[in-house]
Structure 1
Amino acid sequence: MPAEKEQIFKILESNFQGCKLDAKDMTGDKDHWEVHISHPSFSGKSRIEQHRAVMNVLTPLNIHAVSLKILSN
Structure 2
Amino acid sequence: GIPLSVGDRIMLSTRSIHRSKNIWRHPAGPDAFVPERFLEDDKNYPPQALMTFGGGLRRCYGSNLAQFHVKLFIVRTMQTL
**Is the TM value for this pair above 0.5?**
no
Name the one with the larger strand percent.
1
After TM superposition, the score normalised by the length of structure 2 is: 0.27
Larger radius of gyration: 2
With CA pairs under 8 Å and 6+ residues apart, which has the higher RCO, 1 or 2?
1
More helix by share: 2
TM-score (norm 1): 0.29
